[in-house]
Amino acid sequence: MKGGQAIIKSLIDQGADIVFGYPGGQLLPLYDMIYDSDLKHILVRHEQCAAHAADGYARASGKVGVCIATSGPGATNLITGIATANMDSAPVMAIAGQVPTHLIGNDAFQEVDMIGITIPITKHNFQPGNANEIPGMIKSGFEIALSGRPGPVVIDLPKDIQEQELDEYRAESMELPGYKPNLKGHPLQIKKAAQAIKKAKKPVILSGGGVIISGASPEIKELSELINAPVTTTLLGKGSFSEDRPGSMGMLGMHGRKVANITVDECDCLVAVGCRFSDRTTGNIAEFAKNARIIHIDVDPAEIGKNVEVAVPIVGDAKTVLQQLMPLLKKNEAIDNKKWFDYVCEFKTSCIPRLSFENDVPLKPQQVIKEIMNAVDNETILTTDVGQNQMWMAHFYRTQKPRKFISSGGLGTMGFGFPSAIGAKVALPENDVVSVCGDGGFLMVCQDLATVKEYDIPVVVCVLDNRYLGMVAQWQKLFYDERMSHTHLGEVPDFVKLAEAFGVRAERVEKPGETQEALKNAIKSGEPTLLDIIIDPDEILPMVPPGCGLTEIIGEYKVERERPGEITYKNPAKKAEGD
Amino acid sequence: MDERTHIISALVEHKPGVLQRVAGLFNRRGFNIDTITVGESEKEGLARMTIIAQGDDKVLEQITKQLNKLVDVIKVRDLEMESTVKRELCLIKVHAPQEKVRSEVIQYASIFRGRIIDVSPETLTVEITGDPEKIQALIDLLKNFGIKELARTGPTAISRGTKTI
């Protein structure tokens, strides 16, 4: 067996039923071996899409997503995708070709120091020194990518190693004495957390992406019911707690729901699970949950105390820790914060964002999202791009189940939405997959329309087309005296014609009611489809300016039903500063 | 901000690239590494790094946590200054062409428990081991004669008593 064959066998043995890749010179031996192997391979049209597709595959399925690219430029094209996966803790394995061992360091043709480049953006990376190391390396790579706080692993694969004969195929994990994630929470800390929760009168749960990764959604629901705590989520936590439940407050943060932002400000105990308190979630850190004792549960010790001061830190896996914690809360007298819970629910009904704009043309994004919600079911996987489209979706779209809302949170990678939808669809072909993108982000990756056509991957792309880099334009409008520097994208392309050039079904949507119909038809068609949805470029999502506390929401917060005077919130905001 | 000197001792896998991974973490958070020493440890296949860095306690806590996350890092500890012994080796090539200067250099070296390890018609090379402050004191003295070349290893450190990392 040769090194390349060992790669293929190891990937299959680890359960990687499909990989996303793009061949090249230094991968000729591996691709020659893929040619008559059982490994399913999807040829993308840009390496960046291979990485994002692997990421989407991973987030939708919870399994490791694998992408392959050649050395040099192929490898560097993976970088954005690897960094995206790293920021959002997605288990991705990226295999990059490398020049033959004897040429490494010589600035050979298509050589790049992939190990050096990816150190800061991977969980770990490997370069096999001989082919015998490959089976163990892939096995350990998968274990590292998936366990603890998941993340990307890079395998830098020199050409000669792909061709080298193995003495023996031995798939034993490598000895890694420095890697032992701590999953069980410390009993003393859990006791302290239980005490803090019992004392609380106004508890709130903040549920992050870690809850989804650890499969702790049932525990979050149970905890919420047990202590009468309303639940808000981070962007990546969307879906960890059904947003159709009365106790769901939706997303927290810069573009969070009003009820979430104000309730977190008011609560006296914040149980934060599997989140990292990013600046987009907390706003001004000095103002964040300032009345609350914060209990922070996270599997990554480095996240504890990094951004906010915590009263009770617990290092451990979300599900495990919550299962340890709940029996302690059930002991002795029952917790009753029903009044608080009802008060928050009441407040929530007073500020449910308005979605219906039945008469507006150009379309309001709220109306489009309402129609998307009407057209899909709760098994549909939604992926978003980055910018206004993402925040509109995060704010207005109600996700009911884990792994059904996929978005680039930490890195904020434009061009993520479409290829991650490809990955999600490939991972879960039974689920409908809809990608909501902006016109800017979609254009960055539009070449992969070829991929969905060639492999007949029936994803539906909804391009929210306002001809602007909407989010940047929003900031220019709000904070830069409406000086719209280079954010207007002009009249080209015609997205319908663009899709049709790839043989992809496409339709333009301009009026209320059409999105729902077009999307239903697209899903029913079983074909990849692009919907070019023309939306109002002037619509702004209310936001908390950078540097401000979460209650300082600016912009008109349009609600379904307003009952003024019940709850006051601070407005207007301070002058924006910093980022 | 509570800026002070930290001595970080890390037990790491003795293989290529580990130094780069460790140094990168400091660099990214704007921490300057004053000195770093690496060498074999008591365990086969593992090396011990001693890193001296100045900085804010909170940032350093974050760095040690991030270091701990590296797969190649086995253990990390921010050593307590008071209960840590640290030693450094320094080689100093002194300009000493005249007999009078030579004997003075030799005298200073012996006061500091240093040794002359090389002699040429123009120079003497002094080897000294000790606390970094002691080494600095000798360097300051020898500066008067003219130091042609200086090489310091940077301190390596270990906890006092039975404590180990």
Give how far A204 is from chain B: nearest CA, Å. 27
For chain A, the straight-line distance linking the first and the last C-alpha, in angstroms and rounded, comes to 53
Are A305 and B61 a contacting pair at CB < 8 A? yes
**From the CB of residue A106, how many other CB atoms can be counted at a distance below 10 Å?**
10
Minimum Cα–Cα distance from B64: chain A residue: A302
Which are the contacts of A344, defined by CB distance < 8 A and separation ≥ 6? A230, A247, A249, A259, A263
Q: Is B154 left (phi over 0), alpha (psi -120 to 50) or beta?
A: left
* Residue B43 in contact with partner chain A when CB distance is under 8 A: no
Q: What are the residues whose beta carbons fall under 8 Å from the beta carbon of A379, sequence distance 6 or more?
A: A401, A404, A430, A431, A432
Same domain, A337 and A201: yes
CA distance linking residue A101 with residue B28, whole number of Å: 29
B13 touches chain A (CB under 8 A): yes
Nearest to B52 by CA among B75, B36, B38: B36
A429: CB partners within 8 A, 6+ apart: none
Structure tokens at B132: 């970094």
Neighbouring CB atoms inside 10 A of A199's CB total 12
Across the interface, whether the CB atoms of A119 and B61 are under 8 A apart is answered no
Would an 8 Å CB–CB cutoff place B47 in contact with chain A? no
Q: Chain A neighbours among B 85-144 (CB < 8 Å)? A: none
State mean pLDDT over A259-271. Answer: 97
Looking at this protein, which amino acid is placed at residue A409?
G
* pLDDT score for B31: 82
Task: Give yes or no for a cis peptide into A181 (omega within 30° of 0).
Answer: no
Q: What is the pLDDT of residue A324?
A: 98
Distances (CA, A) of A227 to A205, A279, A405, A531: 10, 28, 27, 44
pLDDT in tens, B119-143: 999 999 999 999 999 999 999 999 9
**B165 contacts on A by Cβ (under 8 Å):** none
Largest Cα span, chain B: 57
Contacts of A100 (CB under 8 A, 6+ apart): A26, A108, A158, A159, A160
Dihedral (Cα; A241, A242, A246, A250), 10-degree rounding: 70
Residue of B nearest to A178 (CA): B74
DSSP summary character for residue B123: E
Q: CA-to-CA distance for B53 and A154, rounded, in angstroms?
A: 30
Distance of CA A56 to the CA centre of its chain: 8
Tens digits of per-residue pLDDT, A514-566? 999 999 999 999 999 999 999 999 988 999 999 999 999 998 888 876 444 44
Question: Residue A559's pLDDT is what?
Answer: 87
* DSSP letters spanning B139-158: HHHHGGG-EEEEEE---EEE
Give the containing element (helix H, strand E) for A526.
none
Chain A residues near residue B24 by CB distance under 8 angstroms? 119-120
Question: Which are the catalytic amino acids of A?
Answer: 47, 109-110, 159, 471
Chain B environment of A176 (Cβ under 8 Å): 71
Chain A residues with beta carbon closer than 8 angstroms to that of B20: 116, 119
Provide the pLDDT for residue A226. Answer: 97
Query: What is the amino acid identity at position A201?
Result: K
Q: Is B68 on the interface with A (CB under 8 A)?
A: yes
What is the rounded average pLDDT of the residues A57-76?
Answer: 98
Q: Over the stretch A407-442, which tens digit does the pLDDT of each residue have?
A: 999 999 999 999 999 999 999 999 999 999 999 999
Distance from CA of A347 to the nearest CA of B (A): 38
**SS3 assignment, position A248:** strand
CA distance B101 to B150: 18
Chain-chain contact of B13 with A300 (C-beta, under 8 angstroms): no
Question: What CATH number is attached to the domain comprising A20?
Answer: 3.40.50.970
Q: Which residues of A touch B75 (CB under 8 A)?
A: 178
Do B58 and B6 contact (CB within 8 A), yes or no?
no
Residue B101 Cα, gap to closest chain A Cα (Å)? 48
- Interface contact B71-A306, CB threshold 8 A: no
Domain shared by A273 and A402, yes or no:
no
Taking phi over 0 as left and psi of -120 to 50 as alpha, with beta for the rest, A289 belongs to left
CB–CB contact A176 B71 (8 Å): yes
Domain termination residue (choose one: A350, A378, A403): A350
Do residues A94 and A150 share a domain?
yes
Which of A294, A317, A350 terminates a domain? The answer is A350
Burial tier of A408 (Cβ tally within 10 Å: 0-12, 13-18, 19+):
buried
| A300: nearest CA partner in chain B | B69
B3-79 and B85-157: same fold?
Answer: yes
Class of domain B3-79: alpha beta
Q: Domain end: A299, A322, A350, which one?
A: A350
Asked whether residue A82 falls in the same domain as residue A15, the answer is yes
Q: Which helix (H) or strand (E) segment is A498 a member of?
A: helix A495-501
Task: Indicate yes or no: CB of B68 within 8 angstroms of CB of A301.
Answer: yes
A574 touches chain B (CB under 8 A): no
A427 within 8 A of A92, measured Cβ to Cβ: no
In a domain, A96, yes or no: yes
pLDDT in tens, A96-123: 999 999 999 999 999 999 999 999 999 9
Inter-chain CB proximity A119 and B65 less than 8 Å: no
Q: Maximum CA pair distance of chain A? A: 77
Amino acid at B58: K
Q: What is the DSSP letter of A410?
A: S
List CB contacts (< 8 A) between A117 and chain B: none
Residue of chain A nearest B66, judged by CA positions: A302
Overall number of domains in chain A: 3
Place of tokens 């709760």: A378
Q: What is the pLDDT of residues A342-362, one digit of tens each?
A: 999 999 998 999 999 999 999
Structure tokens at A44: 């993308």
Fold of B85-157: Alpha-Beta Plaits (3.30.70)
Q: Which residue of chain B comes nearest to A125, CA vs CA?
A: B71
pLDDT above 60: residue A177: yes
Band of the pLDDT at A477, cuts 50, 70, 90?
very high
Mutation target vs B (from A117, A124, A155; most B CBs, 10 A cutoff): A124
Domain co-membership, A381 together with A461: yes
On the question of pLDDT at A170 being above 70, the answer is yes
User: For residue A123, which residues of chain B lie inside 8 Å, CB to CB?
Assistant: 71
**Residue A119 to residue B20, Cβ atoms within 8 A:** yes
Handedness of CA A233, A235, A241, A246 (dihedral sign): positive
B30 touching A (Cβ < 8 Å):
no
Domain boundaries in chain B? 3-79, 85-157
Mutation target to probe the B interface, by most B beta carbons within 10 A, among A119, A154, A182, A285 is A119
Residues 6+ apart with CB under 8 A from A442: A385, A415, A417, A418, A461, A463, A495
> Is the separation of the CB atoms in A383 and A433 below 8 Å?
yes
C-alpha distance from B164 to closest chain A C-alpha (Å): 17
A220/A241 Cα distance (integer angstroms): 7
Q: Which residues in chain B land under pLDDT 50? A: none
3-state secondary structure at position A350? helix
Distance, CA of A183 to CA of A552 (rounded, Å): 37
Tell me, yes or no, whether A32 lies in a domain: yes
Domain membership of residue A231 (yes or no) is yes
CB contact under 8 A, B17 and A115: yes
Average pLDDT, chain A: 95
**Burial label, A551 (beta-carbon count in 10 A; 0-12, 13-18, 19+):** buried
Residue B86 pairs in a beta bridge with: B157
Q: Min CA distance, A305 vs chain B (Å)?
A: 9
Distance in Å, alpha carbon of A148 to nearest chain B alpha carbon: 10
Return the residue of B nearest to A140 by Cα: B71
- Is residue A568 predicted with pLDDT exceeding 60? no
The domain that holds A263 is classified in CATH as 3.40.50.1220
Write the CB contacts of A386 (distance below 8 Å, at least 6 apart in sequence): A407, A408, A412, A413, A414, A416, A417, A438, A441, A471
Residues A266 and A229 in one domain: yes
**DSSP 8-state class, residue A220:** H
CA distance A132 to A167: 7
Which residues, 6+ apart, have CB-to-CB distance to A303 below 8 Å? A276, A277, A296
- Closest residue in B to A180 (Cα) is B71
Average pLDDT on A45-66 reads 98
Rounded distance between C-alpha atoms, residue A341 and residue A563, angstroms = 18
- Report CB contact under 8 Å: B28, A120: yes
Is residue A571's pLDDT more than 70?
Answer: no
Q: What is the pTM of this model?
A: 0.94
Q: Which domain holds residue A291?
A: 187-350
Strands B33-40 and B46-56: antiparallel
pLDDT at B28: 84
Instruction: Note the pLDDT of residue B142.
Output: 96
